[in-house]
Amino acid sequence: MIKHDVEIRRYLAWRKKVKGKTIPVRLYEIIYVGLVMLWSKMGKPPISRAIHEYIDRTNYKKELMSGDLFQKLITEIKETPCEDKTGYYLANSRETLSQKDLEQFNIEKELIVKELAINNKVKRYRAVLKFCELYQSWALAKKSEQAEDITKQENFEIHPELPLKIIR
């Protein structure tokens, strides 16, 4: 098992607790986290090399192109219904999702899988990069917002940057 550095462990702890993720962001996060883990395992090479490796992996085809990884998230959410059956409780972030949110997850999942499942590697590369950029944009805005919150400033997990910087 690979041991990730403090920056990555700090990010992974933060992402579980952060509130306010939109449904697309929750799905983009799956792609970003997979890329971050591979990038770290590879010794933190240039982002282009990590993405090429990421889209060529067997796991990419098995988990992302099929939508299985996204479905796993949806299934995990379905396993935590609220006591009053009005939605689903996310323990880490202490948020509740409605049945309508879950339906939106399936719609968004299909749209993302459609872009990821393309056979053209250049287009697949661009799709992964786009989804990671969208996630990074959201996460950096959220971290900036949290950095201004005095109640969170001394929190170990609040760090202004992400471990993998996707710059365009």
pTM: 0.87
User: In this structure, is residue 73 part of a structural domain?
Assistant: yes
Q: Report whether 133 contacts 36 (CB < 8 A).
A: no
Split into its structural domains, the chain has a count of 1
Backbone torsions φ then ψ of 98, nearest 5 degrees: -90, 170
Share of the chain above pLDDT 70, in %: 89
Please indicate, yes or no, if residue 161 is contained in any of the structural domains: no
Query: Which amino acid belongs to residue 17?
Result: K
Whether residue 112 is contained in a domain is answered as yes
pLDDT of residue 151 exceeding 80? no
Q: What is the reported pLDDT for 159?
A: 63
Measure the N-to-C terminal CA separation of the chain; round to a whole number of Å.
32
Does any domain span residue 90? yes
Q: Is residue 22 part of a domain?
A: yes
Reading the block at residue 150, the tokens are 């005095």
- 16 occurs within a structural domain: yes
Q: Is the pLDDT of residue 107 over 80?
A: yes
Residue 167 lies in a domain: no
What is the reported pLDDT for 1? Answer: 44
Give the chain's mean pLDDT: 87
Across residues 145-155, what is the average pLDDT? Answer: 64
Give the separation between CA 86 and CA 113, rounded to whole angstroms.
Answer: 28
Reported as a single tens digit per residue, the pLDDT across 122-139 is 999 999 999 999 999 999
Residue 112 has pLDDT above 50, yes or no: yes
**Containing structural domain, residue 59:** 6-147
Task: Fill in the amino acid letter for 68.
Answer: D
In a domain, 63, yes or no: yes
